[in-house]
């Protein structure tokens, strides 16, 4: 969610045993059964911030492949620049508006820096290709990529490579 040159970020300081402890992340979450990316986006935004998004855009898709899982993880990256309401207290962390230029200075995951850079440098939709990582990296990265909003889809036994699709 963006407003006046700032992103709404979450400082994960509330949960015990949190893989994201003390990190700054964007809001987001996982699909519920039979939920579309847009439905997930709207639900997660409302649950975590109290905001009702009224203008949002799909900005990118990131693919994660892990040999320890039987499926790929797809992360849909959205930005939203119009909404109704004011941020509420969140049980997952503290919400704060952070200037675009200050995001890289926060305690964010190294991988998150890549996605913020893509969001800030490119107006058009992007697909950042395939990341082959270990199980912990998939779970941590998907849970913490600090892009405004994200959702992910699990696709069982996916073996198609994004790079092949681009050709």
CA 60 vs. chain centroid, Å, equals: 10
CA 167 vs. chain centroid, Å, equals: 27
- Burial status of residue 14 (CB atoms within 10 A of its CB: 0-12, 13-18, 19 or more): middle
Give the dihedral sign, CA 33/35/40/43. negative
Q: What is the pTM of this model?
A: 0.73
- The predicted model gives 11-39 an average pLDDT of 90
Model confidence at 162: pLDDT above 60: no
Q: Mapping DSSP to helix (H, G, I), strand (E, B) and coil, where does residue 23 land?
A: coil
8-17, 47-56, 135-144: least confidently modelled range: 135-144
Question: What confidence score (pLDDT) does residue 111 get?
Answer: 74
Q: What is the pLDDT of residues 77-129, one digit of tens each?
A: 899 999 999 999 999 999 999 999 999 999 998 877 887 888 888 777 777 65
Model confidence at 18: pLDDT above 50: yes
- The predicted model gives 32-53 an average pLDDT of 95
């Amino acid at each position: 969610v963006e407003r006046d040159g700032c992103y709404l970020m979450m400082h994960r300081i509330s949960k015990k045993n949190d893989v994201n402890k003390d990190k700054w992340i964007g809001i987001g979450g996982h699909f519920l059964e039979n939920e579309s990316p847009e439905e997930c986006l709207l639900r997660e935004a409302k649950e975590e911030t109290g905001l009702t998004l009224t203008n949002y855009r799909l900005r990118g898709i990131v693919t994660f492949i892990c040999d320890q899982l039987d499926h790929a993880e797809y992360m849909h990256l959205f930005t939203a620049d119009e909404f109704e309401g004011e941020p509420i207290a969140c049980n997952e962390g503290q919400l704060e508006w952070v200037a675009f230029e200050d995001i890289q200075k926060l305690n964010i995951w190294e991988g998150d820096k890549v996605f913020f850079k893509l969001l800030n440098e490119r107006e058009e939709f992007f697909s950042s290709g395939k990341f082959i990582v270990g199980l912990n990296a998939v779970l941590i990265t998907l849970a913490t990529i600090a892009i405004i909003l994200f959702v992910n889809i699990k696709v069982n036994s996916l073996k198609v490579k994004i790079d092949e699709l681009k050709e």
